[in-house]
Structure 1
Amino acid sequence: MVRHTQREIMRICAAFLAAASLLSFSGCGEAQREAAKASAKEITLWTHSAGSQAELDADHQMINAYNKSPNRKATVRLQSFPQSSYNDSIISASSAGNLPCLVDVDQPNTPYWAWANILDPITDKALLKRANQLMKSAKGTWNDKIYTVGYFDATTALFARRSVLEKNGIRIATVDHPWSKTEMDDALAKLKSSGEWSYPFEIGTADNKSEWYAYAYGPILQSFGGDLINREDYQTADGKLNGTAAKDFAHWMQDLVTKGYINSKGGSDTALDFVNNKSGLLYGGIWSMSTFQKYAKDYDDIVAMPMTDFGHGSVAGGGSWTVGITPTCANKEAAQDYLRFSLQDKFIAIMSKAGMNIPVTPGAQQLVPQFAKGGDMQVFTQISQRYAKMRPETPAYNFISTEFRKTIGDIMNGADVDTWLDKAVNHIDGNIQGADGYTKN
């Protein structure tokens, strides 16, 4: 829109010059500045939610409320894209210089987008003050600066049936007392020996094209004492992804297959399979609850528990979609003002309800009965607040995630642990070095 306006202005300027030479080039420049001011009165938000009517409706509610506000600093428009093509659309628009003012971004992608000049850090004091009131997992950060803010969080948990655990003499884990590694191994052995399931444990191994492995298995690695990268400076994975703790983790994952606890080529819908009793224990995301609520006749028998403490505390996946501001935005003041307005508890609650995810402020949690005190999903808020750890806040994350997924997939299918972990470290370190450490010019 802006480039079209500029072309129109240049044609007008040329016409005036040809006719009477009454308008100088400085006049054209002034006309362009006026056009820029006009375009800044309308800002656009791009979202990945084209396939989710509930989330789109929530976005429209927030935007309509802001646009009706007497104190609005611009009119906000919404443009939605399918999630499958969203990231490519952003990259293409960035290359062409056509980014909108506001874009939503999956929280772990924030550092890469900041490094690639797709995002600018938040600077508005009122917005930063509000950001500091959100759960940590609702912020996208890089180099100690906040770039994005969000309305909800997603996390991971173990799901089981209370009756199954009691029948097999297995303690129901709580947020205060997760299972120990010994308890986890004992529970898996008991479930396997019961003979009720071919594979008693489901961990989503079939989801080997997304970042599920890093999101879900990375926390297990961290609980063993390893990590995807050294977080002191994010320059190497050596010692973290191939150290003793990481090897113990990898051997444990491999043993899940060799002992017949999991299928390395698991089901495509793990939550529905659990509803249909194809597994006795499920490691999945909060979104599994929507399937349980819709299809499980024994919903009240299902319990959600934190993941096992493998020696360094229970760790849960965290971080979901957030929103940030682009460097080319012509009205950053308005963009930040809209974000601050949209982060009111009532709007956070509306957006959280749309996907039934964790509201990221205490006030918003009280507005969503499922997450309020006594609600059947309050446990996820507790798990997230106590145990969630962000995926590595580095522009190298996407490469790390892909490398980790391939490596752990191969190891679960019998690859040599030491060789494959060392290979992954070499590939990750090579990527970081090839990008000059992902330092921003």
Structure 2
Amino acid sequence: MKITRRGRRHAAVALSAVLLTTMATACSSGSSGSSGSGGTTASGTYQIWDPYPQFDDSSAWVTLLTKCGTDAGVTVKRTGYDTSDLTNKALLAAQQGNSPDVLIVDNPVVSTLAEAGVLTTTDETKIDTSAVEPNLLAAGQFDGKTYGIPIGANTLALYYNKKVLDAAKVDPATIKDWASLTAALEKVKAAGKKGITFSAIGTEEGSFQFLPWFWGSGANLTQLGSPQAVAALSLWTDWLKKGYAPNSVINNTQTTSWQEFATGDFAFSENGTWQLANAKKTGFEYGIIPIPSQAGGTAPAPTGGEFVTAPVQKDTGRYATAEKIISCLTSSDNALTTDTTLSYVAATDAVQQKQVAQNPELKVWVEAVGAAKGRTSDNLGTKYPKISEPMWTAVQAALSGSQSPQDALTAAQSTAAK
């Protein structure tokens, strides 16, 4: 029996809601969101839902949304939700048949919504993604189709404290691989300072921070127990055993990890683009280098950031106007302003170059984003949450000493395979 797209959407929504419990944003901010009724309220009104409740109606972001609606000849009604709240509401709205016209969601959620039949493809809506960097666009692709366009991206790198490294006689430019980084940490400890802090908490944040080392070893998410994966987890475990990283990383979020670095006692902090403003407030001279891979070069770090998508509508005639609004939001001129506001690296090379011209400090972030990859890339889609949770559980077990890296990851692979 042939199952219609609408039928697939209703059947998959309940399962998708369960999968979303492990898809917490690794890098977005915002707390409670405002309420919204969903759907369209009038023929000339288009609904936009976004995960930026921190921006009110007077903000540059909402001003842009309003302008894009006006340019398209319609009125925009915008609702900002907390990220986790937004994805659940998007699933419910799809089930009830009153989805917003434009939905901006964290990139790992795209494949879940796509599989549930909630989103249109860019082929259906005629959204032009040709200028988007392929590694960033991949986070919004599932089964060979593209379900939106990134509004920008962020990722991870290593912040360093210049004073601490100078005291340890470490030149950050010499750190090119795991061996040189570990040697630098050894010198820092010998100089009486602390080495590196990161987040290894048992949530998606822990997986997000482990992935550069995991991928940097050459490991694949479908083989959690591989020798390469064990090498990555052994690296972190050895750092704790030797005192190069504090035991607090086991419970650290990315925020608390940053707070440790901000004390001025640590040489390095693995953290994201979103900490740039806070870095300027630390009171000490800092720098940023890419996270190195095991053999050398920049490790692939996971991409954070949101995709602008167009949910399925009963009235397909609405797609043309939705496309105009989305194209406006992601145009080069508007993306430059928006990505600067959100501390994002742009999704296109042309805008990235403009960002670096305005702020040379972003050069290292453009390099990191260029090497980054989506957590749901490699067509993992909705399989990713089922892999991520066993992975962060393995990291917790190894760092706490309850299991060896090999045993922890072998168990993780067994769990993921189920």
Query: Does the pair score TM above 0.5?
Result: yes
Counterpart of 2:132, as a letter, is: L
Among residues 40, 43, 47, which one is paired with 1:44 in the alignment?
Answer: 47
TM alignment of 1:6-405, pairs within 5 A? 39-53=42-56, 57-69=59-71, 72=72, 74-123=74-123, 127-128=127-128, 131-136=129-134, 138-139=136-137, 140-173=140-173, 179-197=176-194, 200-205=195-200, 207-209=201-203, 211-229=204-222, 240-266=223-249, 267=252, 268-293=255-280, 295-298=281-284, 301-311=285-295, 313-315=297-299, 316-328=301-313, 330=315, 331-365=318-352, 368=355, 371-372=356-357, 375-385=360-370, 387-393=371-377, 394-405=381-392
- Structure 1-normalised TM-score? 0.76
CA-CA distance at 1:124 after TM superposition: 5.5
1:241/1:425 contact within 8 Å kept:
yes
Report how many residues are paired: 367
CA distance in 2, matches of 1:225, 1:37: 47
C-alpha RMSD over aligned residues: 2.5
1:157/1:305 contact within 8 Å kept:
yes
Runs of 4+ in 1 over 6 A off after TM superposition: none
Counterpart of 2:107, as a letter, is: Q
Counterpart of 1:361, as a letter, is: T
Query: 1:385-433: CA deviations, max 9, x gaps?
Result: 2x21221331111222222111211111111323321221122121xxx
- Distance change in 2, residues 1:213/1:309 (3 Å): same
1:407/1:421 contact within 8 Å kept:
yes
CA distance in 2, matches of 1:329, 1:264: 53
Q: Where does structure 2 lack aligned partners over 5 or more consecutive residues?
A: 1-38
- Structure 2-normalised TM-score? 0.80
2:111/2:376 contact within 8 Å kept:
no
CA distance in 1, matches of 2:235, 2:97: 48
- Distance change in 2, residues 1:329/1:424 (3 Å): farther
Counterpart of 1:243, as a letter, is: S
1:46/1:78 contact within 8 Å kept:
yes
3-state SS of the aligned residue for 1:123?
A: helix
- Distance change in 2, residues 1:348/1:338 (3 Å): same
3-state SS of the aligned residue for 1:215?
A: helix
2:409 aligned with 1:426: no
Counterpart of 1:187, as a letter, is: A
CA-CA distance at 1:101 after TM superposition: 1.8
CA-CA distance at 1:285 after TM superposition: 0.9
Counterpart of 1:323, as a letter, is: V
CA-CA distance at 1:37 after TM superposition: 11
Whose Rg is larger?
1
- Distance change in 2, residues 1:53/1:375 (3 Å): farther
- Distance change in 2, residues 1:110/1:286 (3 Å): same
Bigger mean CA deviation after superposition, 334-343 or 83-92: 83-92
- Distance change in 2, residues 1:339/1:399 (3 Å): same
1:178/1:314 contact within 8 Å kept:
no
Query: 1:128-167: CA deviations, max 9, x gaps?
Result: 2xx1212335431112221121222101111112333233
CA distance in 1, matches of 2:160, 2:411: 36
CA-CA distance at 1:76 after TM superposition: 2.8
Bigger mean CA deviation after superposition, 271-280 or 283-292: 271-280
CA distance in 1, matches of 2:74, 2:372: 36
Q: Where does structure 1 lack aligned partners over 5 or more consecutive residues?
A: 1-35, 230-239, 431-441
CA-CA distance at 1:336 after TM superposition: 1.6
CA distance in 2, matches of 1:193, 1:392: 40
CA-CA distance at 1:337 after TM superposition: 2.1
- Distance change in 2, residues 1:59/1:150 (3 Å): farther
Over the matched positions of the two proteins, sequence identity in percent amounts to 17
CA-CA distance at 1:126 after TM superposition: 5.5
1:122/1:336 contact within 8 Å kept:
no
